[in-house]
Amino acid sequence: MAPPETAGYQFNHTMIRVKDAKESIAFYTDVIGMEVISEYHNNDAKFSLYFLAFDHSDGKDTKEEKDSGRMRREGMLTSALGCPIPISRGTQMAIRNLVEGHLAISVDDIQAACERFERLGVRFQKRLTDGKMKNIAFILDPDGYWIEVVPKNFS
């Protein structure tokens, strides 16, 4: 059982570093179906953050509502352009975890989703026909991050 003090905690976002913000945003919006909820640009430190998420409001939430509610959402992806990797103790472990980890999306029809990714020219790390697990796939984003694709009824 989780400590009572953590009852209101939520998983807010995962941040990935990207080489080309336009290419990354196009992938996550056009291919994956997310939208840019909010942007933050720090010109002094020369970095930008793009917060992406799925819109489950059926288009009812305004851009302002999405932006102001950014820190109350769960499951956002933050694409960071220009954020330096801090050099500190444990950096090698952080880099290894980033490389060996992955993102995941769940879809209604995995076969249809994979066929669409194929038509769009998305690179696959693992197709449904590869390996022993025939009910999951892995695609790659423009920066090589693995994205696991699982059916919503995955068990």
Question: Which residue in the block uniquely carries the two structure tokens 């980033």?
Answer: 98
Measured distance between the N- and C-terminal CA atoms of the chain, rounded to whole angstroms:
23
The answer to whether residue 39 is catalytic is: no
- Which is catalytic among the residues 35, 64, 65, 148? 148
Total residues belonging to the chain? 155
- Cβ burial of 148 (10 Å; 0-12, 13-18, 19+) is middle
Tokens describing residue 122: 């998305």
Active site residues: 148
